[in-house]
Structure formats: structure tokens, C-alpha cells
Amino acid sequence: MVSSDPTLERHFKGHRDSVTSVDFSYSMKQIATGSMDSCVMIWNMKPQMRAYRFDGHKDAVNSVQFSPSGHLVVSASRDKTVRLWVPSM
């Protein structure tokens, strides 16, 4: 049996350059993304809720990941820094 084509659940738009990393929170309520634009963004899965932009890195963000509890997001950048962020719930 052939399954049907996938459908787009939601489109997240806000980075100014290529997205390099994505991670889901453990609760599946938020997504963290890192980008070549040096920013980390936290997206809420409910469409009516806003996204949050975290500026601070001086170069591309290579990796983002939620902590197991979901109370922190860590990002690693080509600027040779690792930063911890507190995502807004």
C-alpha cells in the first residue's frame, strides 16, 4: 500500500539566512532553530503564539538543542562560543 503525499503542517518564517539546526522541545510545544544569520529562534507550536529571537552570537549558529527539561536551549556558533538561553514558555 502506498501512503499519500505528506502535507505541510506549518510554515515557520523569520530567519534572515539559511537554517542550520533544528530541535523539538521534549514537550513538543516549541522548536528551536539556529541559522547562518547568527540568531537562535524559539517557535511556539500554537500558531497564535509569537516566536522569540535570541541575538548574541557574532557568527553563524551551527547547532541548537533543548535541555531534557526544556527549560534551557544551548547553541554553538562559528564565533567559538556556546550560549545557554532560557526559552519563553
Which pLDDT tens digit goes with each residue over 62-79? 999 999 998 999 999 999
pLDDT of res. 4? 75
Q: In the chain, what are the domain boundaries?
A: 19-85
Residue 15, pLDDT score: 92
Burial class (CB in 10 A: 0-12, 13-18, 19+), 69: exposed
Is residue 89 predicted with pLDDT exceeding 90?
no
- DSSP state letter for 26: T
Q: Which residue has the higher pLDDT, 74 or 47?
A: 74
pLDDT of residue 33: 97
pLDDT, greater one: 56 or 11: 56
Question: Over 70: is that where the pLDDT of 81 sits?
Answer: yes
- Give me the numbers of helices (H) and strands (E) for the chain, helices first please: 0, 7
Provide DSSP, 34-62: EETTS-EEEEESSTTSPPEEE---SS-EE
Sole residue written with cell 505528506:
6
